[in-house]
Each structure stands twice: as C-alpha cells, then as structure tokens.
Amino acid sequence: MKKLNIILLSLVSLITLGIFTTQSVKADSLSDQPVMTLGTSLTDSQKQGTIDALSSQISGNNSNYTTVTVTGDTLVKYLNPSGSSFTSSSGVWSSALIQKTSSGSGINVKIVDYNGNNNITTITADQYRNAAVTAGISDADIYVTSATPIDGSGALAGIYAAYASTGSSLNQNQVNAAQNEMGVLSGITDANKGTDGYSDKQLNNAVAGMKSDIAQKGDNITVNQITTIVNNNLQKNNLQNIINNNQKQKIINLMVEIRDSGALKNSNFKEQASKLSSDITSKAKNLFNNLNTQENRNFIQRIWDSIVSFFQGLFN
C-alpha cells in the first residue's frame, strides 16, 4: 500500500505540473487610461446622457478618460470583413467604455442602463465577454450602453477602435470570428427563448469551456476532435437535448473558425476562456448546482478517481 501511495503521489505531481505550467505570451492591451467610444449619431443630449452613464462606471476620477468617436466608417472597417454590410452613412448609437484591469482578472462586461432602460435588445453581457475573448482582448472591464433601443452588434467595433487609438492591435481574423460568434450565440438564445432547461449562461459557459479545451489541444486540432469537445461541453451544461443539430453545427463551424484565426497560438486565450467559464459558473451558482452531475465533477477529482481505480485494480 505504501508503494501505491508513492506512485499515486508522483502521478499527481506530474499532472499538476502539466496543468499549471503555462507559457507566458505578451497579450494585446490598453493603456492605463480608460477609453470611451461614442456613436456619431447621438444628439447632443443623448451624447451627454451616454457620457454620464458610462463615466459613472469608471473607478477613481470620472473625468480621466479619452474619447473615440465611432462612425459608419468604423463599422465598415471592423465589422464588414466578417460579413456585415455597413456603409459610411450607417448610424451608430451604441457606445462603450473599456478600462484596463490587473493581470488575471479576465473580461468583465456590464450593460449599463440609459435613463433607467436597458436599450441593448439582443446581445447579452456574457455574449460580449465570449466575443471579447475570441477577439484577443484580455483583462478589462467593458461597459456598454445605448441611448436608443438597438441590438448592440456594433458595440465591439468601438472597443476595437479603442485598442487602435492606444497603439495596440487585434488580429482581424479573430475579430471576424468574434463578430460571427455574437451572431451565432444571440441567434441560438433567441431561438430557445422560453425553452425549459435553457439559459444564455449555460450556452456561454459551454462555449467558454469549448475554447479552453480546444486551446489545450493546440492549433493542429482536427474537426473530429472539435466536434467531440463541442458535444462534451454541451452535455456538461445539460444542453445536449436542447441545442438542435443545426445549431450545434454552427457552434462547431465557429470553433473551427477560431482555430483558423490564430487564437490558439496565444496561451492567454486559454487562460481568458477558463477565467470566463469560472466567472459565469460562480455568478450563477444556483443554476450550475443543478448541473452537478458525474460528468461535471471537478477535472482534477475525476483524474484522481481514475488513477486510484486503476492502481487499486492492479494491486488487488
């Protein structure tokens, strides 16, 4: 039995080393000063109302931020490559603010009410968070609002422009994947609105888990491996009987696009996806407590159980 304990201890040490050893890669980042993006279509009163709503979220001195105006040309530059059809004359009302946070804090998104109303009608905070991770954004607080009811699909364009204004850059292929992701996730959530056993948090948690899992495999991961990962994460979140085959294929195609975008070459992508999944779970404990099945048990615990079972059988 003493020999068994020594073997088990050694194996756990190796597993722990493999899991927690990561390669440090410098990620795209903002300057320390917050950046506010304002839609060019806002009237003077709407602009001031937007500034008031967003600046109230800044920690510290509310006047200490830079401003970027988002125009139709901004939408064309950042969103049209992913299939959108904006023009230079397209209107822009949804606005955002992004503030750099400490390393390891992850992406946090809050949809801010405008005069007491949530005017972002389609995209949820978790969808924005997942898209931000895909685009290559890391460790930031993002606030989104709109003076008029709108789907909010253009809000991230301002965030991309905010990065460019500070001299940072984002991979356009990842930006394209992020925009497609918002469309896929919001479409699935809209189609399943009112469906028993479905929530947007479950879907976004599943997608964050998929990203983390495919990142561990690396950019040589096959479509078959991606399909298995998609199925596993849908099952972990009790969505396997809710997400239909067409929706599942869209998710698989999205994961393939993320693979091909170059995102998996950056270890920070995996860390941000894992942090997102952890945050979604912790902020919806009651929901995910109901999903505490055998398949959802802690990853380390399941590995430990398998090792113990194997060696107990061997030595017995």
Output the DSSP codes for 149-176: -B--TTHHHHHHHHHHHTT----HHHHH
How many other CB atoms sit within 10 Å of the CB of residue 169?
A: 11
* C-beta separation of 204 from 277 below 8 A: no
- Residues of 21-53 as b/e, b for ≥16 C-beta within 10 angstroms? eeeeeebbbbeeebbbbbbbbbeeebbebbbeb
**pLDDT at residue number 302:** 53
Cα distance from N-terminal residue to C-terminal residue, the chain: 10
Which two structure tokens, joined as six digits, stand for 143?
Answer: 């606030």
**pLDDT at residue number 307:** 57
* Better pLDDT: 103 or 267: 103
* Mean local confidence (pLDDT), 195-218: 94
* Chain mean pLDDT for the chain: 83
Which two structure tokens, joined as six digits, stand for 102?
Answer: 């400490």
**pLDDT at residue number 23:** 32
User: For residue range 64-80, what is the model confidence (pLDDT) as tens digits?
Assistant: 899 999 999 999 998 88
Distance CA 300, CA 303 (A): 5
Residue 226: pLDDT over 90: yes
How many other CB atoms sit within 10 Å of the CB of residue 289?
A: 9
Distance CA 207, CA 28 (A): 22
**How many Cα atoms sit within 13 Å of 280 on the Cβ side?**
27
